[in-house]
Amino acid sequence: MTQVDTSTARLATTVRGTGPAVVLAHGAGGTVQANFGPLLAPLSRSLKVIGADLPGSGATPRSSGPLNLDDLADRLVASAVHEGADTFTVVGYSLGCATAVRAAIRHPDRVTGLVLTSGFAKLDEATRAKVQRWRALADGDRTALARYVTSVMLGKAYLSRMSHDQREGFIELVALTTPTGLLEQVDLVLNTDITDDLATVTAPTLVIGTTQDQLISPDLTKALADGIPGARWATLDSGHAPALESAGAWARLIEDFTR
């Protein structure tokens, strides 16, 4: 695939619905569809939903170099404005939470609220080891990578309810849909540290922890709520894939926050 400089290419977007705008910032190794797909229909009944794919995900060209969080935040905001949204709530998931925080700090006139789910300010050592394993597998066999991703993305309860064939089918789907920009996205996860930014966030914020998360510890997500002045805290009974495990409850939390 042709690689391009991230600072010169607009992010590809998915747009649904009308009403107050929410902008979706997805996680590493994902896409808007993969990380938010089941939320698009319910949210778009009352909101204008704008999702932007990271470089190397969806229809956004892959980057020719390392990703930069501020550049992604600026491009996320620019993509929303291009789609006709002057102000909006940013809904961040996983790595997208850091993108959302930086967008709120750099564009306080545009970002009127934040919903941060399964996110982190900085990885702890246990999580870093899991992400480094993810990165090491990214250069090898896609099926081995997909098996590992499945084991850490889905909650144990959700995994236990899947039949062998369902699990194998899910692994096959993950292997087939791994984005071309995975390495750059995972490297950004490893290098992200927004700890000092949290106290400067002025936008109203809801932070949502996923209590069965096997990748990002709920304690890491709770640290976002503790660090952002006035942030509200909520939880979902889910692993690191709330769009699959708790889509309805997640959508309701977002809808309630934006009213």
Q: What's the CA gap between 238 and 231, in Å, rounded? A: 21
Q: How far from the centroid of its chain's Cα atoms is residue 2's Cα? A: 24
Which residues span the domain enclosing 224? 3-258
Separation of alpha carbons 159 and 182, rounded Å: 24
Q: CA nearest 162: which of 98, 62, 245?
A: 245
pLDDT reported for residue 139: 85
Please report, in tens digits, the pLDDT of each residue of the chain (259 residues total).
333 334 445 799 999 999 999 999 999 999 999 999 999 999 999 999 999 999 999 999 999 999 999 999 999 999 999 999 999 999 999 999 999 999 999 999 999 999 999 999 999 999 999 999 999 999 888 999 999 999 999 999 999 999 999 999 999 999 998 999 999 999 999 999 999 999 999 999 999 999 999 999 999 999 999 999 999 999 999 999 999 999 999 999 999 999 8
Buried residues in 129-148 as b, exposed as e (16+ CB within 10 A) = ebbeebbebbeeebeebbbb
Pick from 158, 125, 162: which is nearest to 240 by CA?
158
* CATH number of domain containing 110: 3.40.50.1820
Total domains in the chain come to 1
* 141-157 confidence digits (pLDDT tens): 899 999 999 999 999 99
pTM of the predicted structure, to 2 decimals: 0.94
Instruction: Give the pLDDT of residue 148.
Output: 96
